[in-house]
Every structure is written in structure tokens, then in C-alpha cells.
Amino acid sequence: MTKAVYPGSFDPVTNGHLDIAVRAASLFDELIVAVYDAPPKHLLFTTDQRVELMRQALGHLPNVKIGFFTGLIVDYAHKVGARAIVRGLRMSSDFEHEFEMALMNKNLAPDVEVVCLMTAVDFQFLSSSLLKEVAQLGGSISNLVPKHVAAALKKKYSLPEESVSRKGG
């Protein structure tokens, strides 16, 4: 039984993350989506909220579990018995950072492989940070996140009912 972990901040989860998770779940017997408890960046959603948004998006997949981790992802991978860490790659700018992290993780845990999946072309320019910026300004994000995530963003930013699905200005 080959297990993998897919770690990330997921603040919040986007269709780009979900695409990677669904594809990774088809490659491994079990995929544990691991929400990074305290990444070194400002967060909009709490860990519980990020886990819950992820659970609502992926809970229907029988071989996917949702968890969260504190500390090193390689320690979490060992704890849950995962052989691989899955990451998603967008444009070249992701590559350098992911490569650096993969080498560091390999140094920390030579028995854990890092598997990178290329983003689907539709999500190439989708990041949680840009998504939040657009959502805060009331732009349309309905094709970029599941409905419950759009609703959670709307609530966070206290936007009126029709926002986050409104096109343009």
C-alpha cells in the first residue's frame, strides 16, 4: 500500500490544488492532504477552517484523507507512513523553490520521494494569494474555487450576496 502526502497552506483551497489532489489520488493507494498549520506567511483562514474547506471539497474520494501538520513535512510523512510528498508545479517560478525544498527534504529524509505534478493549463496562473486579492475586491472567482470556498471568502470579506461571482468592475 503506497501512501503519499500532499502538503500546503491551502489558504484557501483552489481548483488548482484540487486538480493536483485528484490526480495524485489516482496514482497512490492513499493520499493524505496535509494542511500546514503555521506556514511562515499571513493566513486568512484558521487551520480548522482550511481543513474543513478541504474536507468539503475532497471528502467524497474514498482514498483521500485530510489532516494537518505542525513542523517538518518529512516528520509528518514518517508518522503517517507516506513514501512520497506530492507538490504541484505551475510556471517556472515555482520550480526553483520546489527544487530547493525537495533537495532539503531529501537531505532530511532520503527514504521519502518528492513527486511533482504539472498544473492543468487552466490553473497555471491561479494562486491562493491572487485569488484572495481578487475576492476581496469583489471580482469573479466562481470558476476558480468550489462554491463553498467562494462562500467562505465572501463571508471573510463581508461582501454582499452577489459578490465573488460578479464579472468585472
Report the 10 Å Cβ neighbour count for 109: 17
Give min distance, CB of 17 to ligand ADP, in A: 5
Give min distance, CB of 135 to ligand ADP, in A: 15
Give min distance, CB of 50 to ligand ADP, in A: 9
Nearer to ligand ADP, 22 or 161 (CB): 22
Q: Per-residue contact track with ligand ADP, 15 to 54, x per CB under 6 A? A: -xx--x---------------x--x---------------
> How many binding residues for ligand ADP (CB under 6 A)?
18
Q: Of 72, 59, 71, which Cα lies nearest the Cα of 31? A: 59
Nearer to ligand ADP, 46 or 161 (CB): 46
Half-sphere exposure of 158 (CA within 13 A, CB side): 0
Give the separation between CA 10 and CA 7, rounded to whole angstroms.
8
Give the separation between CA 135 and CA 45, rounded to whole angstroms.
14
Which of 23, 78, 83, 90 lies at the binding interface for ligand ADP (CB under 6 A)?
90
68 contacts ligand ADP (rule: CB under 6 A):
no
CA dist list (Å): 134 to 10, 125, 150: 16, 13, 11
Spatial contact of 90 and 16, defined as CB atoms under 8 Å apart: yes
Residue ranges binding ligand ADP (CB under 6 A): 8-10, 14, 16-17, 20, 36, 39, 87-88, 90, 94, 119, 123, 126-128
